[in-house]
Amino acid sequence: MPTDRLRLNDGHMIPTLGLGIWQVPADRTADTVATALGLGYRLVDGAAIYGNEAGLGEGLRQSGLPRDEVFVTTKVWNDDQGHDSTLRAVEGSLARLGLDRLDLCLIHWPVPARDRYLDTWRALIRLRDEGRVRSIGVSNFMASHLERLVGETGVVPVLNQIEMNPRLQQTSLRALHDRMGIVSQSWTPLGQGRSFTAAPVLAVAARTGKSPAQVILRWHLQLGASVIPRSTRADGLAENVRLFDFDLTDGEMAAMAALDEGARCGPDPATFA
Protein backbone atom coordinates (compact mmCIF):
# COMPACT_ATOMS: atom_id res chain seq x y z
CA MET A 1 0.00 0.00 0.00
CA PRO A 2 1.27 3.53 -0.72
CA THR A 3 2.30 5.74 2.14
CA ASP A 4 -0.09 8.36 3.48
CA ARG A 5 2.61 11.00 2.95
CA LEU A 6 4.96 11.91 0.11
CA ARG A 7 8.37 13.54 0.43
CA LEU A 8 8.78 16.79 -1.49
CA ASN A 9 12.08 17.67 -3.14
CA ASP A 10 12.80 20.28 -0.44
CA GLY A 11 12.62 17.61 2.27
CA HIS A 12 9.17 18.46 3.60
CA MET A 13 6.29 15.97 3.59
CA ILE A 14 2.80 16.33 2.12
CA PRO A 15 -0.22 14.11 2.84
CA THR A 16 -1.29 11.97 -0.10
CA LEU A 17 -4.98 12.70 0.58
CA GLY A 18 -6.44 16.14 1.11
CA LEU A 19 -9.62 18.16 0.93
CA GLY A 20 -10.11 20.45 -2.06
CA ILE A 21 -12.34 23.44 -1.34
CA TRP A 22 -12.96 24.74 -4.87
CA GLN A 23 -16.66 25.69 -5.16
CA VAL A 24 -17.28 25.14 -1.44
CA PRO A 25 -19.55 28.06 -0.46
CA ALA A 26 -17.80 30.58 1.78
CA ASP A 27 -20.44 30.22 4.48
CA ARG A 28 -19.94 26.43 4.59
CA THR A 29 -16.16 26.29 4.31
CA ALA A 30 -15.30 26.51 8.01
CA ASP A 31 -17.66 23.68 8.96
CA THR A 32 -16.55 21.55 6.02
CA VAL A 33 -12.87 21.99 6.87
CA ALA A 34 -13.42 21.34 10.58
CA THR A 35 -15.44 18.20 9.81
CA ALA A 36 -12.79 16.92 7.41
CA LEU A 37 -10.00 17.52 9.90
CA GLY A 38 -12.04 15.69 12.54
CA LEU A 39 -12.26 12.70 10.17
CA GLY A 40 -8.51 12.56 9.73
CA TYR A 41 -7.73 14.80 6.77
CA ARG A 42 -4.47 16.71 7.26
CA LEU A 43 -4.25 18.61 3.97
CA VAL A 44 -6.57 21.39 2.83
CA ASP A 45 -6.12 22.82 -0.66
CA GLY A 46 -7.40 26.35 -1.19
CA ALA A 47 -6.82 29.31 -3.49
CA ALA A 48 -7.36 33.04 -3.43
CA ILE A 49 -9.81 32.88 -6.35
CA TYR A 50 -12.05 30.41 -4.48
CA GLY A 51 -13.19 33.23 -2.18
CA ASN A 52 -13.18 31.05 0.94
CA GLU A 53 -9.70 31.39 2.46
CA ALA A 54 -11.16 32.97 5.60
CA GLY A 55 -13.36 29.91 6.09
CA LEU A 56 -10.37 27.62 5.64
CA GLY A 57 -8.53 29.41 8.41
CA GLU A 58 -11.59 29.41 10.66
CA GLY A 59 -12.13 25.70 10.10
CA LEU A 60 -8.54 25.03 11.05
CA ARG A 61 -9.00 26.96 14.29
CA GLN A 62 -12.33 25.23 15.02
CA SER A 63 -10.66 21.84 14.66
CA GLY A 64 -8.43 22.52 17.66
CA LEU A 65 -5.52 20.81 15.91
CA PRO A 66 -2.01 22.19 16.33
CA ARG A 67 -1.00 24.29 13.33
CA ASP A 68 1.89 22.00 12.46
CA GLU A 69 -0.47 19.02 12.02
CA VAL A 70 -2.36 20.53 9.07
CA PHE A 71 -0.85 21.17 5.64
CA VAL A 72 -2.37 24.34 4.12
CA THR A 73 -2.06 25.17 0.42
CA THR A 74 -3.17 28.29 -1.42
CA LYS A 75 -2.50 29.72 -4.87
CA VAL A 76 -1.65 32.99 -6.60
CA TRP A 77 -4.36 33.88 -9.10
CA ASN A 78 -3.68 34.94 -12.70
CA ASP A 79 -4.44 38.63 -12.20
CA ASP A 80 -1.93 38.80 -9.33
CA GLN A 81 1.01 37.40 -11.29
CA GLY A 82 4.21 39.44 -11.38
CA HIS A 83 6.88 39.88 -8.72
CA ASP A 84 5.56 42.64 -6.48
CA SER A 85 1.90 41.81 -7.01
CA THR A 86 2.61 38.20 -6.00
CA LEU A 87 4.23 39.39 -2.76
CA ARG A 88 1.09 41.42 -2.02
CA ALA A 89 -1.22 38.57 -3.01
CA VAL A 90 0.44 36.08 -0.67
CA GLU A 91 0.31 38.54 2.22
CA GLY A 92 -3.38 39.00 1.48
CA SER A 93 -3.94 35.25 1.56
CA LEU A 94 -2.10 34.93 4.87
CA ALA A 95 -4.24 37.70 6.35
CA ARG A 96 -7.49 36.07 5.20
CA LEU A 97 -6.36 32.69 6.49
CA GLY A 98 -5.20 34.17 9.78
CA LEU A 99 -1.85 32.38 9.46
CA ASP A 100 1.73 33.54 9.68
CA ARG A 101 3.00 31.07 7.07
CA LEU A 102 1.82 28.75 4.32
CA ASP A 103 2.87 25.14 3.93
CA LEU A 104 2.63 25.40 0.15
CA CYS A 105 1.91 28.19 -2.31
CA LEU A 106 1.31 27.50 -6.00
CA ILE A 107 1.14 29.57 -9.16
CA HIS A 108 -2.46 28.75 -10.12
CA TRP A 109 -2.04 28.76 -13.92
CA PRO A 110 0.94 29.48 -16.19
CA VAL A 111 -1.05 32.00 -18.30
CA PRO A 112 1.62 31.96 -21.04
CA ALA A 113 -0.04 34.78 -22.99
CA ARG A 114 0.78 37.18 -20.13
CA ASP A 115 4.27 35.73 -19.62
CA ARG A 116 4.54 36.66 -15.94
CA TYR A 117 5.07 33.27 -14.37
CA LEU A 118 8.87 33.63 -14.14
CA ASP A 119 8.57 36.85 -12.12
CA THR A 120 5.84 35.22 -10.05
CA TRP A 121 8.13 32.25 -9.38
CA ARG A 122 10.97 34.53 -8.31
CA ALA A 123 8.61 36.17 -5.81
CA LEU A 124 7.66 32.76 -4.40
CA ILE A 125 11.34 31.87 -4.07
CA ARG A 126 11.82 35.08 -2.06
CA LEU A 127 8.84 34.29 0.18
CA ARG A 128 10.18 30.79 0.76
CA ASP A 129 13.59 32.14 1.67
CA GLU A 130 11.98 34.63 4.07
CA GLY A 131 9.97 31.87 5.77
CA ARG A 132 6.52 33.14 4.79
CA VAL A 133 5.99 30.04 2.64
CA ARG A 134 7.57 26.70 3.46
CA SER A 135 7.32 25.02 0.04
CA ILE A 136 6.58 26.41 -3.42
CA GLY A 137 5.09 24.81 -6.50
CA VAL A 138 2.88 25.27 -9.52
CA SER A 139 -0.50 24.23 -10.85
CA ASN A 140 -1.54 23.38 -14.40
CA PHE A 141 1.99 23.79 -15.76
CA MET A 142 2.83 21.89 -18.94
CA ALA A 143 6.23 20.44 -19.80
CA SER A 144 7.44 23.57 -21.64
CA HIS A 145 6.46 25.80 -18.72
CA LEU A 146 8.25 23.59 -16.21
CA GLU A 147 11.40 23.34 -18.28
CA ARG A 148 11.56 27.10 -18.78
CA LEU A 149 10.90 27.80 -15.11
CA VAL A 150 13.69 25.52 -13.93
CA GLY A 151 16.04 26.55 -16.73
CA GLU A 152 15.69 30.25 -15.89
CA THR A 153 15.75 30.04 -12.09
CA GLY A 154 17.36 26.72 -11.17
CA VAL A 155 14.56 26.11 -8.64
CA VAL A 156 12.42 23.02 -9.21
CA PRO A 157 8.80 23.20 -8.02
CA VAL A 158 8.03 20.69 -5.28
CA LEU A 159 4.65 19.88 -6.84
CA ASN A 160 2.55 20.41 -9.95
CA GLN A 161 -1.20 20.24 -9.36
CA ILE A 162 -2.79 19.03 -12.59
CA GLU A 163 -6.16 17.90 -13.84
CA MET A 164 -6.02 14.12 -13.69
CA ASN A 165 -8.63 11.36 -13.72
CA PRO A 166 -9.13 8.02 -15.51
CA ARG A 167 -10.10 9.79 -18.75
CA LEU A 168 -7.11 12.19 -18.55
CA GLN A 169 -4.13 10.33 -17.11
CA GLN A 170 -1.32 12.76 -18.04
CA THR A 171 1.16 9.91 -18.48
CA SER A 172 3.95 11.86 -20.20
CA LEU A 173 3.67 14.83 -17.84
CA ARG A 174 3.77 12.54 -14.79
CA ALA A 175 6.87 10.86 -16.22
CA LEU A 176 8.51 14.29 -16.53
CA HIS A 177 7.55 15.03 -12.93
CA ASP A 178 9.22 11.80 -11.86
CA ARG A 179 12.43 12.71 -13.72
CA MET A 180 12.46 16.22 -12.22
CA GLY A 181 11.52 15.16 -8.69
CA ILE A 182 8.13 16.91 -8.75
CA VAL A 183 5.11 15.45 -6.94
CA SER A 184 1.98 15.07 -9.09
CA GLN A 185 -1.22 16.21 -7.38
CA SER A 186 -4.60 15.51 -8.98
CA TRP A 187 -7.45 18.03 -9.19
CA THR A 188 -10.91 16.99 -10.38
CA PRO A 189 -9.70 13.47 -9.56
CA LEU A 190 -13.10 11.88 -10.10
CA GLY A 191 -13.47 13.42 -13.54
CA GLN A 192 -17.03 14.61 -12.83
CA GLY A 193 -18.07 10.99 -12.44
CA ARG A 194 -17.52 10.10 -16.10
CA SER A 195 -15.75 6.84 -15.20
CA PHE A 196 -18.05 5.68 -12.41
CA THR A 197 -19.74 3.14 -14.71
CA ALA A 198 -16.60 2.07 -16.58
CA ALA A 199 -16.11 -1.70 -16.50
CA PRO A 200 -12.65 -1.62 -14.83
CA VAL A 201 -13.96 0.63 -12.05
CA LEU A 202 -17.07 -1.46 -11.46
CA ALA A 203 -15.00 -4.65 -11.40
CA VAL A 204 -12.78 -3.35 -8.60
CA ALA A 205 -15.81 -1.99 -6.74
CA ALA A 206 -17.51 -5.39 -6.92
CA ARG A 207 -14.40 -7.22 -5.72
CA THR A 208 -13.61 -4.86 -2.82
CA GLY A 209 -17.04 -3.61 -1.76
CA LYS A 210 -15.85 -0.05 -2.32
CA SER A 211 -17.64 2.71 -4.21
CA PRO A 212 -16.53 3.79 -7.70
CA ALA A 213 -15.26 7.06 -6.19
CA GLN A 214 -13.12 5.19 -3.68
CA VAL A 215 -11.74 2.95 -6.43
CA ILE A 216 -10.73 5.95 -8.53
CA LEU A 217 -9.18 7.81 -5.60
CA ARG A 218 -7.24 4.70 -4.66
CA TRP A 219 -6.03 4.46 -8.27
CA HIS A 220 -4.55 7.96 -7.95
CA LEU A 221 -2.71 6.98 -4.79
CA GLN A 222 -1.27 3.87 -6.41
CA LEU A 223 0.03 6.00 -9.26
CA GLY A 224 2.06 7.84 -6.62
CA ALA A 225 0.01 11.04 -6.74
CA SER A 226 -1.45 13.21 -4.03
CA VAL A 227 -5.19 13.67 -4.49
CA ILE A 228 -7.60 16.39 -3.30
CA PRO A 229 -11.27 15.42 -3.80
CA ARG A 230 -14.00 17.84 -2.79
CA SER A 231 -17.09 17.09 -0.73
CA THR A 232 -19.24 19.16 1.62
CA ARG A 233 -21.22 16.18 2.97
CA ALA A 234 -19.99 14.48 6.13
CA ASP A 235 -20.68 11.04 4.66
CA GLY A 236 -18.88 11.95 1.45
CA LEU A 237 -15.89 13.23 3.38
CA ALA A 238 -15.84 10.04 5.44
CA GLU A 239 -16.07 7.85 2.34
CA ASN A 240 -13.25 9.68 0.55
CA VAL A 241 -10.85 9.17 3.45
CA ARG A 242 -11.34 5.36 3.57
CA LEU A 243 -8.74 4.51 0.95
CA PHE A 244 -5.99 2.75 2.83
CA ASP A 245 -7.46 -0.70 3.44
CA PHE A 246 -7.52 -2.07 -0.12
CA ASP A 247 -5.40 -2.23 -3.28
CA LEU A 248 -5.93 -2.46 -7.01
CA THR A 249 -4.01 -5.38 -8.50
CA ASP A 250 -1.50 -4.90 -11.31
CA GLY A 251 -4.08 -6.22 -13.74
CA GLU A 252 -6.70 -3.79 -12.46
CA MET A 253 -4.25 -0.89 -12.76
CA ALA A 254 -3.57 -1.92 -16.36
CA ALA A 255 -7.30 -2.02 -17.09
CA MET A 256 -7.67 1.48 -15.62
CA ALA A 257 -4.85 2.73 -17.85
CA ALA A 258 -6.89 1.72 -20.89
CA LEU A 259 -9.56 4.32 -19.97
CA ASP A 260 -7.32 7.24 -20.92
CA GLU A 261 -8.86 9.44 -23.63
CA GLY A 262 -6.93 12.67 -23.11
CA ALA A 263 -10.25 14.40 -22.45
CA ARG A 264 -10.27 17.43 -20.16
CA CYS A 265 -13.04 18.61 -17.87
CA GLY A 266 -11.35 21.97 -17.29
CA PRO A 267 -9.50 24.57 -19.39
CA ASP A 268 -6.42 23.96 -21.52
CA PRO A 269 -3.38 25.39 -19.68
CA ALA A 270 -1.80 26.36 -23.01
CA THR A 271 -4.50 28.95 -23.65
CA PHE A 272 -6.31 29.66 -20.35
CA ALA A 273 -5.86 33.27 -19.27
Distance CA 5, CA 71 (A): 11
User: Could you tell me where the beta strands, DSSP code E, fall in the chain?
Assistant: 5-7, 13-15, 19-20, 43-45, 71-76, 102-107, 133-139, 159-163, 183-187, 226-227
- What count of Cα atoms within 13 Å lies in the side-chain half-sphere of residue 245? 7
Catalytic residue numbers, as ranges: 50
Question: How distant, in Å, are the alpha carbons of 22, 134, 165, 166, 231 from that of 192?
Answer: 14, 32, 9, 11, 12
Report the length, in residues, of the chain.
273
Distance CA 104, CA 159 (A): 9
Q: Are 164 and 184 in contact (CB under 8 A)?
A: yes
Q: Is 148 exposed, middle or buried (0-12, 13-18, 19+ CB in 10 A)?
A: middle
